[in-house]
Structure 1
Amino acid sequence: MAQNPDPADPLDDIRPQLKRALELTDADFDRMAPEVKNLLTVRRKLGHTWLDDFEVVVEVLEKKGCGCGVEAGQIVVFDMRHRIKPEKSNATLCMHMLAPVLAIFYMTFDRGSEGLNPLTRIWRFYDCVAQAEDEGAGKARTRVYLRTSDTHQPVLVEDMKPRRELAL
């Protein structure tokens, strides 16, 4: 259940890790807005290594006349810091295909701070935004999902736990 951020939360239980990871000082914490603190509490729910424990996969389902060269079954893999992992990706990097997907990253930290799967189960399929002479009939369609970084198993649960507690 969503909660309003507690403006008095000192983040004492995760402050040492946040200081180290983000190079923050006590003065930074004192000035921090409650909304920022709330986003940082994702580590309470998903563990301190959650940014490294999971990946976002954009899988090409079909390419109906796509001109950029993607093929069904190819993937683009992102880390949870929203960076493409070229060593794990095999699809052509087409911004027409990826642009609609990038919007989901805006909610990952917010959902994670509530203990939810960082990716929504509602918006999982995306169409390429390229509009050619065929009025968009020939374009790629993708599916987006979360997976573990180590075993590459899809994470389909809504209520998340730290990686070490998931049996994947």
Structure 2
Amino acid sequence: MNKLDDIIFKTEKVVTAFFLASIATLVFVAAVMRKFGYPLNWAQDISLLFFAWLTFVGGDLLMRSGRLIFIDILYNVLPSRVKKVFNILFGLAMMYFLIVLIWYGFKLVMQSWTRLFNTLKLSYAWCTLCVPVGSLLMLSTVIKNLIKDIKTPAEV
């Protein structure tokens, strides 16, 4: 499983870097072209598509790397056993939330299949598909972290 995790982690790093660089480039070039009277209307739709995928794939990338935003001012003063319970409860809550996102995300994909982007001959479902796919990736990360939290003894 570690080899698969490494492959997913490296792939997510490449994909998110590509999406971020593409969004920045497309927005810049579209702005310059609009200034000269040649707007690239399709660039906005591509940027929207990439931004949606960047958000969900990037969310899992941050979860895997342990770099999510965390308010630790109160957490740091808690005893180890309370921290462990807090981590497990947070993991279970995240699992529930992600399962809801997966369920309704797939419903959203099915509903948006016939909707097209404004300037592209591309189904909007490709954009909404990031919700269940990214949530599945995050769910696997949460489960892996939850198992690790349960197995790791609390420091006394």
TM-score (normalizing by structure 1): 0.26
**Which structure shows the bigger proportion of residues in helix conformation?**
2
Identify the structure with the greater strand proportion: 1
Q: Which has the larger radius of gyration?
A: 2
